[in-house]
Amino acid sequence: MKLSCQEGLVPGATFVEKLKNLEAYGFAGIELNGGHLHTPEEIAERTAALADSPVRASSICGGNTAELVHPDKTKRQKCSDGLKRQLEVAAKLGALGPITVPIFNHNDRVPDLSPWRTRAQIERDLLIEMLLPLAEFASQLHTAVLLEPLNRYESNSIPTQKDGADIVRAINSPGVRLMSDVFHMHIEETNSPAALVAAGTTIGHVHLADNTRKEPGSGDIDFKAIFTALKSVSFTGYMAFECGLTGPGAEVLPKSAAFLKSCME
């Protein structure tokens, strides 16, 4: 298991400086901001910087719509096309892939057609149909779409690890993997370590934050239990900080990284 961090949390005036700081802080990876990967120049800058750094690109977050199950076909297609572009960028930069959620609560949603089909059932089936061609595309590039369950206050489409893992298993392709976020799990799961064990090898990437949604070690999540669960399912991927910080990054990030490494021992 390797620590990563979203680039926006890292001090540094340039991407090169951010990579140097992450290396000094004890991180092995960087989670790229998808909003900074739209132009050839932005991609070239990151490609060159990563080539000269031991810090690797772990994943891509943001920079695309989250509307795979939007009732508007045009918006669904736009989201899918955006994920394809990010998968291509991930392949170039050596990242596993982009993170996506099916849809946020504030977006328009498909109707509830009970008793024939509930909204949850419709969204689940639609999500699988949207992900199948993306899975094939990602597999060809040796990348993956990283599907993230969110807590009920942000999206009730697939709120639990089981919801997400069931989708990944239904697709049955290395081109779609589960993205497990311990902050969202702290809200939705009654036993987060057990939920990770049940999700098993569907897990491709992890987001780290404490229950405060600040850096790990600032709250009460049992990270030793989280890491024990991940080790038990042979997870060896990246775990990226996606959180706020309680202080300056130059102080907080190395301290939190050291705390997490002690929890892994």
Give the span between the Cα atoms of 248 and 213, in whole angstroms. 16
- Residue 242 known to be catalytic: yes
Going by C-alpha positions, the residue among 82, 101, 11, 93 that lies closest to residue 58 is: 93
Question: Among 7, 67, 123, 148, which one carries the catalytic annotation?
Answer: 148
Give the span between the Cα atoms of 183 and 207, in whole angstroms. 8
Q: Do 45 and 7 form a contact (C-beta atoms < 8 A)? A: no
Going by C-alpha positions, the residue among 187, 23, 35 that lies closest to residue 4 is: 23
- Residue 45 known to be catalytic: no
Going by C-alpha positions, the residue among 248, 210, 218 that lies closest to residue 21 is: 248
- Domain parsing of the chain, residue ranges: 2-264
pLDDT tens digit at each of 265 positions of the chain? 999 999 999 999 999 999 999 999 999 999 999 999 999 999 999 999 999 999 999 999 999 999 999 999 999 999 999 999 999 999 999 999 999 999 999 999 999 999 999 999 999 999 999 999 999 999 999 999 999 999 999 999 999 999 999 999 999 999 999 999 999 999 999 999 999 999 999 999 999 999 999 999 999 999 999 999 999 999 999 999 999 999 999 999 999 999 999 999 8
CATH topology of domain 2-264: TIM Barrel (3.20.20)
